[in-house]
Chain A
């Protein structure tokens, strides 16, 4: 069963998890995304590389602080919203570029329905050790492109270099 991974970023998602979040607020933060970004995984083993891909892009805070929602494909289908495949050409993990999709959310009602699905979806948090080990593994296999990595992933790779030497 396929599922979608979505990082719950601070500015846009923390207020959405307030019990009294108003629909207009939900739409305003979703609209700011110009299409809600989702990563489609066909199997469980895809989810950690997707998380690494997102984290490696630019994050510097420990992965344990980052929240990811795992949205079931059927739940997303039930919303009947347009979902487009939008390849992420800058993704640090090259093979995942076609995993990237964008969901069109354009009304208050659609925003409220989508947020209710995300609120109920299982949330994943990954330890620093899990993510660091996956970064090194993906880099060793040639899948993770160091030039595309942000501060956190670069530091992990830099720390590993003396060990390799």
Chain B
């Protein structure tokens, strides 16, 4: 099976979600319009952390992930996080904005980012995951929701429950509710 490519110009659950997402990441235009010159020459993604993350996400572009099953992507991200810390989290939104990154891999990466136990990057990861629950792709929203549950920060509860009220995908909605209620 070839994984669907990730191109938000082609895939919209709702225009509203895209607007909310962009309001969090006005700088992350590559998520909306993949960089024409390619990620290697894009100044926003020219850091070592962004290149490392991009390379890892590309490796897992055709991978399928299942809830609760440990993935190699998580191990690779853990290594990158230990090396780059905050810089890795900050570069996430731009590094995944490529046509070679699959929604399934982004979803898994977000869940794994929530599961790491690292106090230094916790606040940045919380903000990143909160932004991604408004992402236009349902699988990505699902991964961010699981990531917020894994992070165990109770400040996410209200945002999860609020998002559930307007979530169009039934599976994502019940996951938002389960995570929001568990953290409340």
Give chain A's interface residues, CB within 8 Å of chain B: 8-15, 17-20, 25, 28-29, 31-32, 58-62, 64-67, 119, 123, 125, 150-152
Closest-by-CB residue of B relative to A10 is B67
Q: How far is the CA of A163 from the CA of B116 in the complex (A)?
A: 30
B133 to chain A, nearest CB (A): 13
Residue in contact with B1 in the complex, picked from A20, A28, A59, CB distance below 8 Å: A28
Contact A11–B104 (Cβ < 8 Å): yes
Contact A17–B146 (Cβ < 8 Å): no
Closest-by-CB residue of A relative to B103 is A15
A-side contacts of B70, CB under 8 Å: 60, 151
Q: How far is the CA of A67 from the CA of B104 in the complex (A)?
A: 18
Give chain B's interface residues, CB within 8 Å of chain A: 1-2, 4, 13, 64-70, 103-104, 107, 138-139, 142-143, 146, 149, 168-172, 174-175, 178-179, 182
Q: How far is the CA of A31 from the CA of B1 in the complex (A)?
A: 8
Contact A61–B67 (Cβ < 8 Å): yes
20 extra interface residue pairs, beta carbon distance < 8 Å, beyond A8-B171, A12-B64, A60-B70: A9-B67, A10-B65, A10-B67, A10-B143, A14-B169, A15-B103, A18-B13, A18-B168, A19-B168, A20-B13, A25-B4, A58-B68, A59-B67, A60-B68, A62-B178, A64-B182, A65-B175, A123-B174, A125-B178, A151-B68
Q: How far is the CA of A119 from the CA of B67 in the complex (A)?
A: 20
Closest-by-CB residue of B relative to A13 is B171
26 contacts across the A-B interface (CB closer than 8 A): A9-B66, A9-B67, A10-B67, A10-B143, A11-B139, A14-B169, A15-B139, A17-B138, A17-B170, A20-B13, A25-B4, A28-B1, A58-B66, A59-B67, A60-B68, A60-B69, A61-B67, A64-B182, A65-B179, A67-B171, A67-B174, A125-B174, A150-B68, A151-B68, A151-B70, A152-B68
